Chain A
Amino acid sequence: MELSKTLSTTNAIKSGRLTASANLQSKISRVENYDSAVKAFIETYFEDARSAAKQVDAKIAAGKPVGKLAGLVVAVKNVLAVKDKKLTCASKMLENYVSPYDAAVIEKLRAEDAIIIGSLNCDEFACGSDNTKSAFFATVNPVSFFDNSGEMSNLAASDKFVPGGSSGASASAVAAGFCDLALATDTGGSIRCPAAFCGVTGFKPTYGTVSRYGMADMAMSFEQIGPVAPDAYGCALLLSVISGKDYRDSTTAKAISTKAPDASFATASASASSSKKIRIGVPKEYFEGANPAVAKAVKDAMGRFANKSGCELVEISIPAVKFGIPAYYLLVYSEFASAMQKYDGFKYGAKPESNDELVPTVSKVRTANIGKECKRRIMLGTYITTKEHKDAWYTKALKARAYVRAQFDDALEKCDFIVGPTMPNLPWKIGEKASDPLQSYLEDVLTVPANLCGLPAGSVPCARIGKLPVGLQVIGRRGADYETVSLMAQIESSLVV
């Protein structure tokens, strides 16, 4: 089997065939050549990164032990705190805010000798599915610039496609070769959607697997930090570093641990249920509303994988999928409205310019510095949690969440995994879906169930239609993160995209 790109790089660095500094420089050169077109980075940390790379090279030269991510270049979504660097959440509200500390995941990256190259754009406060809602600029899907050999030679391309969202720049940075790995967050598909749209691999862990300490929260009962990588091995490696219980985030779960990928990684799913064939559920609802070409590509890929692996594909039905969008968005609105209250211009946020009294001052600062989609979510979240509307909307959405979860849990009792398309459609052109928020929300129909249910889920590239990638989604049982990424690795290795 072909060696994973991430594994090849890490082996080359640890064996001394490639220095961390040379690996970093190759990434910096690509950023300098291509990021003016892709627009992935909000801030680059080249000098700090060069210094960190030299330290890794010195350790290796001296024969000292190095961490699991030694010399690998990692870029991070700009909702994660990096000490003394801007934490903007792609919002004017935090445009000049500098983080006084490292997020838990950043501490872990540093402890394992990763090289942090910079912070990445996203939709404002992670609210969006196409990265056009950043207050600063829209990131462009690198596939827009690819020629037939997959090189970025056509920077003047007139058709510019969205990279997905909200972590669009995390997937773009990996696809464009600006970094070896990227960190992103997934609240309703924000890792899996961009991974699918940019033709890379992304994984949302089981809720509670990764500490959210130092992450600017969007909807705290849904979101997880997770990896984006060129392949499933890279996702598994980064996940093994960032996962684990943390007393600073009371929602991290004790029972979930994710080991580093080992020699049996690509067969772990099979060994997890060695006494019987792996059963993979294919819900018909995941294909009914999808673009027919996307649906066919995913079905063909699963058929090829089943033939090679001997896994059993079973058609199943999860009718509650249709409640996913309303349940998810109603609860996100509520949690987001609450999370955004702290941005009042004093401790966090843009400097108030007026000398009015408190309420008018705060209102002016928030109105001037929060973008349209975020305002819409705050307003709707406030509306549905007022005393007179709470039962009709908020409580009902909590019931819908339980209803969706029960059906997914039932399906995962009968099957080891669920698969389907990651996104119902191909990437669209920038600006194409700007006007109708509901149409934009509906793109998340296949990704939000995993967040509603707290399940681990990832996206692997399975085909291209023209030059546009198609993502195949794998959803696993709660806590079976390693097995889920392992199955993604097996699917990846069985397909030639």
Chain B
Amino acid sequence: MEKKITKADIERVASIARLCPSQDELDGLTADANAILEYFSLIDEIPDSVAPQTYVLSHENALRPDEEKKPDPKGIRRGFSRRQDNYMLAPKSF
């Protein structure tokens, strides 16, 4: 499979990742991505028959006691960068 990454790929990915790198940064990221993924294509040697593994342990769900716990709203609100009364301010999205 062709895995070469182009500058256009990087620009598209930047847009999805909500980043806006400069032209110089795009050139650097494209070169880095190709060098890194060229080395990482070593994993093509892994047989396709191997089952993918997401987690290393099989877990039971960790359930909390069935009692309500209220977070401290004052501490959480303090983290908002822009706020008005008890609300977080965000730019218009439509």
Q: Which residues of A contact B (CB under 8 A)?
A: 83-84, 97-101, 207-208, 221, 245-254, 322-323, 325-327, 329-330, 337, 341, 344-352, 354-359, 361-364, 366-367, 370, 375-376, 378-380, 382-383, 386, 392-393, 395-403, 405, 437-438, 441, 452-454, 478
Q: Whole-angstrom distance between the alpha carbons of A362 and B14 in the complex?
A: 12
Contact of A355 with B91 in the complex, beta carbons under 8 Å? yes
Q: Which residues of B contact A (CB under 8 A)?
A: 1, 3, 5, 9-10, 13-14, 16-21, 25, 29, 32-33, 35-37, 39-48, 50-57, 59-65, 71-72, 74-76, 78-82, 88, 90-93
Q: Is the interface of B mostly helix, strand, loop or mixed?
A: loop
Q: Knowing A247-B62, A386-B16 touch, does A347 contact B54 (C-beta < 8 A)?
A: no
Contact of B62 with A250 in the complex, beta carbons under 8 Å? yes
Q: Knowing A253-B57, A367-B21 touch, does A382 contact B16 (C-beta < 8 A)?
A: yes
- The residue that B56 contacts in the complex, of A221, A254, A322, with Cβ under 8 A, is A221
CB distance from B88 to the nearest CB of A (A): 6
Supplied contacts A253-B59, A326-B39, 9 more A-B pairs, CB within 8 Å: A208-B59, A325-B39, A341-B18, A358-B93, A375-B21, A379-B14, A383-B5, A399-B48, A478-B57
Q: Knowing A358-B92, A478-B57 touch, does A396 contact B46 (C-beta < 8 A)?
A: yes
CB contacts (< 8 Å) of B72 on chain A: these are: 100-101
Q: Knowing A366-B19, A367-B21 touch, does A247 contact B64 (C-beta < 8 A)?
A: yes
CB contacts (< 8 Å) of B36 on chain A: these are: 329, 380, 437-438, 441
Chain B minimum-CB-distance residue to A441 = B36
Contact of A380 with B33 in the complex, beta carbons under 8 Å? yes
Q: Whole-angstrom distance between the alpha carbons of A347 and B25 in the complex?
A: 28
Contact of B20 with A367 in the complex, beta carbons under 8 Å? yes
Q: Whole-angstrom distance between the alpha carbons of A344 and B90 in the complex?
A: 10
Contact of B90 with A346 in the complex, beta carbons under 8 Å? yes
CB contacts (< 8 Å) of B92 on chain A: these are: 357-358
Contact of A403 with B32 in the complex, beta carbons under 8 Å? no
Contact of B17 with A347 in the complex, beta carbons under 8 Å? no
Contact of A356 with B51 in the complex, beta carbons under 8 Å? no
